[in-house]
Amino acid sequence: MNRERSRDLYDRALSVLPGGVNSAVRAAPQPYPTFIERGDGGHVVDTDGNRLVDWVMGLGPMLMGHDMPDSVRAAIQSHASEGPMYGMPTEVEVEHAEFVCRHVPSVEMLRFVNSGTEATVSAVRLARAVTERNKIVVMQGGYHGAQESTLVEGDVDHPRPSTSGIPQSFAKHTLPVPFNDETAMHEVFEAHGDDIAGVLIEPVQANMGIVTPEAGYHEAVADLCDEHGALLVWDEVITGFRVGGPQCAQGKYGVDPDISTFGKIIGGGYPVGAIGGKTEYIEQFAPSGDVFQAGTFSGHPVTMAAGLETLRFCAEEGVHDHVNDLGRQLREGLTEVVADQAPGYTVTGLDSMFKLVFTRADGSPQSECCANGCRQDPSCDRYDACPKRGTDTTRAATDRYARIFRPRMREEGVLVSQNQYECNFVSWGHTAEDVERTLEAYKNCL
C-alpha cells in the first residue's frame, strides 16, 4: 500500500507541530500517522488515495459515519450561512437542551461547553462548590480529559501527577482507586468521606481496553456517595448517546447520577461538551449561581444544530439498533477468531463499541457466556484473567499491537484504534460487508 504522501506530510508536520500532531494519541500509529483526505460512510480515503474501513470514527463522535443525513447537513448549512456565531443566545441551543433533558433520565438542566475536557473541569469545580469539599475520587486507568484534577496516578496514599506541569499540591486532592473494587471504594470513604466532594467515574472504562462494571458495582458507589454527602459524577463523554441509546449508559445501567458530562456525539461531530444533572446543582453555575463558568464558543449554533439533528435522526431512524447489531456481529466473530488463533486474548465491548485486548491469559478462551464481549461474568472460564480495570490493559501485549498488528490491519485496508487502549466504534455508515472484511483482516493479522 502506497503511503508516501502521509509520510511526507508527517515529515513537514514535525517542523511546525509538536510531534507532528495536534493531539498526542494521533502520533501513536507506527511508524507515522495516516493523513486523511475525506470520509465516505464507514470508510476514509487517505491522502495517498487508499480507501480504508474506519473503526476509529473520530475517536467516537461520528455515530452517523462520515456521510451526514440530509436533515443534519441542511441544519448545519442553514446555521453556517446565517453567520458563524454571535456571542448571544440562539433558539437552537434551547431546543438541543430540551431534547437532552427529555431523554437522559438524570438530566434536568444543561450547560453546553466546547469539549469533554471542559465539561469534566466544570463538573469537578461544581462538585467542590456544592459540597464545600476539595477531594475527588477517580478510577485508576480512567480518563477525563486533559485537566489537572484527573491527570493523576498512583493510589489514595500516594497520588501524583501523571504528567509534568501539574503541581503535586494539586494531586493531593485527587484520590485514585481501582475500578470494579467495592472494597477499595468503601475504604476511601471510610478514610476521607468528610472531605470527598464527588466520585468522577466512567460507566465503562473506554479509554483502557473497554472494561465493563461488575454487577452491583455502580449501585454500591452511588450508595456510598449518598451516605457521605458526595456527588456522583458520571463521565459519559464516550458512552453518551452511544451506550444505552438516547438514555445513555445511565439508562442502560439504571443509575441516577447527580451530574453527568457529555461530549463527542452530542455535538454531531463538531467540538462540544456539556454538563447536565439535577437542577439544584446545575443552576449553581453563573449567572444563576456563584460557580463561574463561561466560554466564547459555548452553545455554538452550528454545533448545536449538528448535535440536535443527529440525535433526532438517531431516535427516529433506528440508528442504535443498526450499530448495536453490527457491534454484536463483530464481537461474536472476533470471539471465534480469537478462540482459534489467540485464545489468551480478550474480546471486550458493548453496544456499538468493540475491542480486542492482547491479554496474556493462560488456559481456556472466553466462554459462551461472554461470546458477545467481556461482561465480568463469574461463570466464564476466563473470569479471573480478563481485565477488571483499565490498568490491567497495560500488562497486555501493547507493543505487538502498535508495531505489528495495527500496521498489518492497515495494509489489509482496515483502520482500528491507534493503540491498545482506545476503543473501536461502529457507525450508521458501516455495513455487514465491512464487518466481514474486518473479521477476515483479523484472521490474517493475528
Return the number of other C-beta atoms located less than 10 Å from residue 145's C-beta: 19
Which is the catalytic residue, given 264, 351, 401, 421? 264
Which cell is 149 given? 484534577
Which is the catalytic residue, given 143, 253, 281, 421? 143
DSSP 8-state code for residue 214: P
Which cell is 89 given? 443566545
Q: What are phi and psi of 197, to 5 degrees?
A: -80, -35
| Dist. CA 273–CA 267, nearest whole Å | 8
* ∠ CA 197-202-204, rounded to 5°: 155
Instruction: Please report which helix (H) or strand (E) contains residue 273, including its range.
Output: strand 273-277
Helices assigned H by DSSP within 212-293: 217-228, 248-253, 279-282
- Largest Cα separation within the chain, whole Å, is 62
CA distances 383 to 328, 345, 361, 376, 379, Å, are 20, 12, 10, 6, 7
Q: Which residues fall within 8 angstroms of residue 234, CB to CB, at 6 or more apart? A: 106, 201, 202, 203, 249, 250, 255, 257, 259, 260, 261
Active site residue 10: no
Roughly what angle, to the nearest 10 degrees, separates helices 432-445 and 319-341? 20
Q: Which residues fall within 8 angstroms of residue 200, CB to CB, at 6 or more apart? A: 120, 123, 124, 127, 136, 137, 138, 142, 144, 150, 233, 235
Return the number of other C-beta atoms located less than 10 Å from residue 203's C-beta: 25
Which is the catalytic residue, given 46, 54, 235, 392? 235
Which cell is 157 given? 496514599
* ∠ CA 213-218-223, rounded to 5°: 160
Active site residue 143: yes
What is the spatial order of strands in the sheet that 353-357 belongs to? Answer: 346-350, 353-357, 424-425
Q: Which residues pair with 54 in a beta bridge?
A: 415
Q: Which value, in Å, is the radius of gyration of the alpha carbons in the chain? A: 21
Active site residue 264: yes
Helices assigned H by DSSP within 63-216: 70-81, 91-103, 116-131, 168-171, 182-192
| Dist. CA 377–CA 384, nearest whole Å | 10
Active site residues: 143, 235, 264
